[in-house]
Structure 1
Amino acid sequence: MTEVETATMTAWVAPRYGGSEVLRTEVVARPTPGDREIVVRMRAASLCRGDLHLLTGTPYLVRLGFGLRRPKHRVIGQSLAGEVTAIGPHVTEFSVGDRVFGEVPGGAFAEYVAAAVDCFVRVPAGVSMEDAAAIPDSGMTALQGLRDLGKVGPGTRVLVNGASGGVGSFAVQIARTLGAHVTAVCSTRHLEMVRGIGADAVIDYTTTDLIRAGETYDVVFDLAGNRTVREWRRVLTPDGIFISSSAALGDDWIRPVAWIAQVALTDLFVRQSIKALLMRPSATDLEHLATLAASGQVLPVIERRFPLAEAARAVEVYARGHASGKTVLYSG
């Protein structure tokens, strides 16, 4: 292998906003670490809804922070796992050869990724690279929603709407580790999977209108965005907490602003707590999730696996929705 070859790599690039059709592979320079960065040889990466938002530039509010005309990060992907191949001069937390996983601002769908050291934690013994790569975005979203906004604890009655998806499948399991009684909402084909990961009760939304079912919950964690705030308040206890994920936002300028305003204003004038969730990457939370995965209390549900060479196909399939758990890319 020549010196030029060792200094390059293959990456999936989005030169403009759009769907899977805009993605292409390019041979680009292999990254080198900054002072407080590490370079990771990507072994597995996972898709999340945020990847689609950043790829398509929708809702349009995304472009205010990630590029008005084209994506700021040309190489897509955020959640990954792999081995450390190089470290910056001021990195003491990791060594070359360490197995790590984490959430990066962009660049995960490439053979090598460079990012700040605090984006990563070690992969626990006994946890595969694919499982580790499936954890960061979805696991932290579920954990922060339930623990931080929902204040979930022993005996809390939790409803997870959209329980079969990436975040939802983590939410069901994490709520159980917090001691909650979990009711999961999903479609008919996902009922057995959701029961299998620990839901105490399951509602098939294709046959049952949960708003009219007469049950109330201390916490409603909405990951589907298919009901109004007014409807959700009907199934909350008087002091209940409603948590909305970004999945409820539309694809234009107006609807996201309107939804956020509705959530914020409703929270001001009702006894119940109405909250919007924005996940914030946290190495501490990743460590906690790593511990849960190592103990077998929380395990990713992986529905589909694609080689890195088929990343565009993976994005196309994932964008259709109705996934059961996570979609993972793997690299040899």
Structure 2
Amino acid sequence: MTMTTSIRPTMTAAVYRHFGAPDVVRLEQLAIPTPRPGEVLIRVHASTVSVADHRARSRDIPAGLGLLAALGLGIFRPSHRVLGMDAAGVVEAIGTGVTAFAPGDRVIALMAGAFGGHAEYVCMPQDGAITRAPESMTFEEAVTLVFGGTTAHGFFKKVTIGHGTTVLVNGASGAVGTAAIQLAKQLGAQVTAVTSGANAELVTSLGADRVIDYTTQDFATAGDTYDVIVECVGNAPFEKSGASINPGGALLLVISDLWGMLRSRGQSRRSGKLVTSDVGKPSADDLAYLVNLADSGRFRAVVDRSYDLADVVEAHRYVDTGRKRGNVVLRIAAPDEHREQGPTS
């Protein structure tokens, strides 16, 4: 293992040992993980507090998925004490056999269900969803590509989107929604964003061609149809939105309950329209695709608020409101370290 001599034996991490409200999260000192063969140790500068973190911490799970979630999150207490599905930072050390990265490399990574990003260090397999960070972005900006970006990109790989494809994004102002707008536009789509009127300016600035204010209009009863509907809210299952999908089109269920998942295959077969909740397994190539877009100015970081690690409870409270726009970023590194980690030239 290659490790710098400045590494400390312990790290600060946001730990939760019980499910519940935001204040179950506490800062604790944990042992810094040691990279195993094939792993890299990342000194985390930024992560996000996502809807996935909210669901894991609060056990606010879509209907019917409680048992399945318990198997991954823990039955009586959390299986993963440190939340955070993504990270942006610097490779601090490498395990034996690592050739893809070296200490000092700026990286972004998706740990997904393994979590661990809300800590000063996290280990990641070199062949996992990890790639070099965008040269044009700070870590706080770069980390916003990961969770929402890979989710939207993963679903879009299930369909064909090209010039003139009509895409509706329901829940367009969240982490996945803001990424979906940008990615669909890069593929040539005409994008309709469903959000509140207060977020119309944001989604339009990201490329949305049309905005539907859900507080005054229900897209599913308006009579318009689309080639692809991206469902990021959980309130537009196929039973409601199917008539709004063109023949041969698709409903991409970013959020679905168990009933929606179980029925999706039969709905696809009977309707001739793809209905899926399968995002696939994000890879390093998926992250690299997003990095390329960011470095070429075609994908923008959307940050609602940023919090220091010491204020992680407040970050959770804000995410719990369900009103975040884009991403809530958690700054892990000390302030002086953040000042030194801007984009490389």
TM above 0.5, yes or no, is yes
Give the equivalent residue in structure 1 for 2:143: 133
* Correspondence for 1:74 among 64, 81, 85: 81
Give the equivalent residue in structure 1 for 2:244: 235
Give the equivalent residue in structure 1 for 2:45: 43
Give the equivalent residue in structure 1 for 2:212: 203
One-letter amino acid matched to 1:276:
S
Query: Secondary structure at 1:6's aligned position in 2?
Result: coil
Please tell me whether the aligned partners of residues 47 and 140 of structure 2 are also in contact (alpha carbons under 8 angstroms). Answer: yes
One-letter amino acid matched to 1:19:
A
Residue 113 of structure 1 deviates from its aligned partner by: 1.1
Alpha-carbon distance in 2 for matches of 1:165, 1:193: 11
Query: Is it true that 1:298 corresponds to 2:299 in the alignment?
Result: yes
Residue 58 of structure 1 deviates from its aligned partner by: 4.0
Give the equivalent residue in structure 2 for 1:114: 123
Residue 19 of structure 1 deviates from its aligned partner by: 2.6
Give the equivalent residue in structure 1 for 2:201: 192
One-letter amino acid matched to 2:145:
I
One-letter amino acid matched to 1:322:
R
Alpha-carbon distance in 1 for matches of 2:43, 2:269: 47
One-letter amino acid matched to 1:163:
A
* Correspondence for 1:55 among 54, 57, 82: 57
Residue 10 of structure 1 deviates from its aligned partner by: 0.8
Query: Secondary structure at 1:143's aligned position in 2?
Result: helix
One-letter amino acid matched to 2:13:
A
Alpha-carbon distance in 2 for matches of 1:76, 1:90: 28
One-letter amino acid matched to 2:10:
T
Query: Secondary structure at 2:228's aligned position in 1?
Result: strand
Give the equivalent residue in structure 2 for 1:275: 276
Alpha-carbon distance in 1 for matches of 2:281, 2:226: 26
Please tell me whether the aligned partners of residues 174 and 325 of structure 2 are also in contact (alpha carbons under 8 angstroms). Answer: yes
Alpha-carbon distance in 1 for matches of 2:214, 2:278: 23
Query: Is it true that 1:260 corresponds to 2:261 in the alignment?
Result: yes
Residue 259 of structure 1 deviates from its aligned partner by: 2.2
Alpha-carbon distance in 2 for matches of 1:296, 1:273: 32
Q: Which sits farther off after the overlay, 94-103 or 269-278?
A: 269-278
Query: Secondary structure at 2:90's aligned position in 1?
Result: strand
* Correspondence for 1:14 among 9, 12, 16: 16
* Correspondence for 1:84 among 84, 91, 99: 91
What is the percent sequence identity of the aligned residues? Answer: 37
Residue 100 of structure 1 deviates from its aligned partner by: 0.5
Give the equivalent residue in structure 2 for 1:286: 287
Instruction: Name the Cα RMSD after superposition.
Output: 1.7
Give the equivalent residue in structure 1 for 2:314: 313
**Structure 2 gaps, min length 5:** 335-345
Please tell me whether the aligned partners of residues 37 and 91 of structure 1 are also in contact (alpha carbons under 8 angstroms). Answer: yes
Mapping for residues 213-224 of structure 1, pairs under 5 Å:
213-224=222-233
Alpha-carbon distance in 1 for matches of 2:45, 2:232: 28
Aligned residues: 321
Please tell me whether the aligned partners of residues 129 and 287 of structure 2 are also in contact (alpha carbons under 8 angstroms). Answer: no
Alpha-carbon distance in 2 for matches of 1:231, 1:30: 48
Query: Secondary structure at 2:263's aligned position in 1?
Result: helix
Please tell me whether the aligned partners of residues 53 and 62 of structure 1 are also in contact (alpha carbons under 8 angstroms). Answer: no
Residue 197 of structure 1 deviates from its aligned partner by: 0.6
Moved segments of 4+, more than 4 Å: none
Alpha-carbon distance in 2 for matches of 1:76, 1:292: 28
Query: Is it true that 1:145 corresponds to 2:155 in the alignment?
Result: yes
- Per-residue Cα deviation, 1:301-329 (whole angstroms, up to 9, x for no partner): 10110011111110111111021111001
Alpha-carbon distance in 2 for matches of 1:37, 1:18: 32
- Per-residue Cα deviation, 1:212-271 (whole angstroms, up to 9, x for no partner): 22211011111011124222111111222111112x33xxxxxx2x22123232223212
Query: Secondary structure at 2:101's aligned position in 1?
Result: coil
Distance 1:277 1:48, change over 3 A: farther
* Correspondence for 1:64 among 59, 67, 71: 71
TM-score w.r.t. the length of structure 1 is 0.92
TM-score w.r.t. the length of structure 2 is 0.89
**Structure 1 gaps, min length 5:** 250-255
